[in-house]
Amino acid sequence: MHLYIHVPFCARRCSYCDFAIAVRRDVPSRRFVSAVLKEWRQWQGHPAWEESKDVGTVYFGGGTPSRLDPGGIAELLAGIGRERQVAAGAEVTLEANPDDVTPAAVAAWRVAGVNRISLGVQSFDPSVLRWMHRTHSADQVAPAVETIRAAGIEDVSLDLIFGLPASLGRDWERDLAQAFALAPDHLSLYGLTVEEHTPLGRWAERGEVTPVDEERYAEEFLAADRALALHGFEHYEVSSAARPGRRARHNSAYWRRAPFIGLGPSAHSGFGRTRRWNLRDWSAYERASAEGRSVVGGSEELAADAVELEEVYLGLRTSDGLALERLPPDMVAGWTAAGWARTTPGRIRLTAEGWLRLDALAASATA
């Protein structure tokens, strides 16, 4: 079983972000921990555990988990361990923003059991960070990585965003070079999407910003793919790359369709054919928890065609690919001739060119 904990609190909303967050200057750590542990206790005895009894990975995502009191992370991990065996050597990841990384905080995370940090860097360009409404500055990133390593947490992942509007003049290859210079174990590279109801969505609607065109987006993605290979990284999933042996085990479990439980507001859970999700807003989640009502916002049972689409989509997004017999031979031939896929004995996997067309290819494979 894989466990995701959504910590929704952020200091302010980034210009592009439409995640389920709660902007708070003072984070209600104690109330959050108590509500999440209550939800965790309610999961015990649930049929979701039929497939697996132990916890294989824990992932604190957000929001900004590094804004939670470090003692809260310790309490959560202790509470998880009271109900279930956490596997020896389990990957325990915490997403952190560079400005929250202090020697005291990292030491506390490590003692609590965190052994992997995913750092939200996004760019090393100060004007881009200001445009994104990020709370950290570019020069906080290198000291943060150093502090994490000095405290004994070896496994460090950096998040970067590409595909920014051309008007920002962002030098993507320079940002990549700065990331490689910090010798991360893992990189997550996300293409910017313009979402409604975000400051960026409003700027685009008013014509104040022109989203990146397809050509530049593709150039940046392909440049990243080449740079990753040059630096010895394995581009093992459309948005993820790792040094050998450093693939993210938690995310890889999603892509293998392993069972997972999500705790906290808006968190999703999946096991067998069931998908269920929690109330999205922190206040609604907290109120339901305090009043003894369910925090579940909804659920569905996947039909056979939805399972097939999920399997194909998840297979194609990773470098492990799909069993060759899942696709008709003429489709395999067409994709490989176009340079979108490569075959190995019994398998087909997309190339970087293919990943640029992931949604369309997965849809055509299951049409």
Residues that bind ligand SF4 (CB under 6 A): 10, 13-14, 17, 19, 21, 62-64, 97, 120
Return phi, psi of residue 169, to 5°.
65, 30
Q: Is the C-alpha dihedral spanning 117, 97, 237, 197 positive or negative?
A: positive
Judged by beta carbon, residue 165 or residue 321, the one nearer ligand SF4 is 165
Judged by beta carbon, residue 17 or residue 74, the one nearer ligand SF4 is 17
Minimum distance of ligand SF4 from residue 60's CB (angstroms): 12
Judged by beta carbon, residue 19 or residue 217, the one nearer ligand SF4 is 19
Minimum distance of ligand SF4 from residue 121's CB (angstroms): 11
Cα distances (Å, whole numbers) of residue 238 to 81, 175, 225, 298, 315: 33, 19, 10, 29, 11
Minimum distance of ligand SF4 from residue 21's CB (angstroms): 5
Judged by beta carbon, residue 191 or residue 334, the one nearer ligand SF4 is 191
Judged by beta carbon, residue 190 or residue 255, the one nearer ligand SF4 is 190
Judged by beta carbon, residue 64 or residue 318, the one nearer ligand SF4 is 64
Minimum distance of ligand SF4 from residue 135's CB (angstroms): 7
Among 228, 257, 227, which residue's Cα sits nearest to residue 317?
A: 257
Q: Is the C-alpha dihedral spanning 331, 337, 340, 343 positive or negative?
A: positive
Judged by beta carbon, residue 23 or residue 363, the one nearer ligand SF4 is 23
Judged by beta carbon, residue 10 or residue 224, the one nearer ligand SF4 is 10
Judged by beta carbon, residue 120 or residue 321, the one nearer ligand SF4 is 120
Minimum distance of ligand SF4 from residue 133's CB (angstroms): 7
Among 223, 225, 227, which residue's Cα sits nearest to residue 236?
A: 225
Minimum distance of ligand SF4 from residue 158's CB (angstroms): 14
Terminal-to-terminal C-alpha distance of the chain: 32
Minimum distance of ligand SF4 from residue 70's CB (angstroms): 18
C-alpha span between 292 and 298 (Å, rounded):
17
Judged by beta carbon, residue 6 or residue 317, the one nearer ligand SF4 is 6
Minimum distance of ligand SF4 from residue 265's CB (angstroms): 12
Q: Is the C-alpha dihedral spanning 123, 126, 127, 130 positive or negative?
A: positive
Minimum distance of ligand SF4 from residue 264's CB (angstroms): 13
C-alpha span between 4 and 6 (Å, rounded):
6
Q: Which residues pair with 269 in a beta bridge?
A: 276
Cα distances (Å, whole numbers) of residue 148 to 98, 113, 114: 10, 14, 11
Minimum distance of ligand SF4 from residue 148's CB (angstroms): 18
